[in-house]
Amino acid sequence: MSDSNETRGRQRQIHFSFEFFPPKSVDAEASWWRSVEELSAYDPGFVSVTYGAGATSQTPTYAAVKRLVDETRLATASHLTVVKASKGEVDDVIRRFRDAGIRRFVALRGDPPGGIGTAYSPHPGGYANAAALVSALKAIDQDFDISVSAYPEKHPESADRTADIAMLKAKADNGADRALTQFFFDNDVFEDYLNEVRRAGITIPVVPGIMPIQNLAQLKRFAAMCGASVPAFVERRFEGLDDDPEGRFEAAADLAAEQVQDLVARGVGDFHFYTMNKSKLMAAVLDRLGIRPGRALADAVPERLRA
């Protein structure tokens, strides 16, 4: 690395956001809130709360984001989908969230009502996809901050990567502010994808989604459904640790931190962490990156880049 590159490395900042899912019970809410409190000390750029398919899933998400807006200083984004809802119903939800003080959204089409892997059919009177949802959000309020999804290994329903990137361009052209990627583990895949995105004329930030591995077996099952790969080098990190929960924890924290450090070395400065509402592992990852609670982001640069 040249002297000038070393200087840029020392000055580089890491910015990050966290994703939570809403608690599904009173008992779960206490645990969720502890995670929020513990991770909010790291001063994320924003936090997001997931949103399931169908009208019945709105209540826990609304309650969670409302509490975050009312009781914290966290910039809070609500996920929003178009599944099983008419345009009018979606617009009503947008206005309800806006009136509650929510100005940020993660605009998604949403999973098929039958679950991941089943065929998707738009609601006959609804918005067809996330690009249309971005337009609907902007029509209601031009000042909304809107994130959308991106897929380094392509969405499982896309015909190919070209079609997948065309959809991302439509979302960007309709007013999206940034794209948050599906989790991935091979940074070469992300770098290749980002190069293709830029060649397609998409200029919005594409923020890598990082998934610290809570449970490898569960992750592999989920990855298979959503089209993400789990490389052999990831599996090797957990070999021999089936009966060693502490070893699995350390391996997971090391792996996520190393992935971020490698991406930083490639010029990436923004990250979106899928916390799974687990603050202990997320804190361990941040600790490995030299990021401490209450620490200014300007100082939060991996130790190896401060040489």
- Long-range CB pairs of 163-167 (<8 Å, 24+ gap) are 165/196, 165/197, 165/200, 165/202, 166/200, 167/129, 167/130, 167/131
List of residues 6+ apart from 119 with CB closer than 8 A: 112
CA contacts within 13 A on the Cβ side of 68: 34
* Total residue count of the chain as it appears in this document: 307
Decide if 281 contacts 253 (C-beta within 8 A).
yes
Enumerate the active-site residues: 19
Are the beta carbons of 84 and 123 closer than 8 angstroms?
yes
The Cα 43–Cα 298 span in angstroms is 12
State the DSSP string of 182-204: EE-S-HHHHHHHHHHHHHTT--S
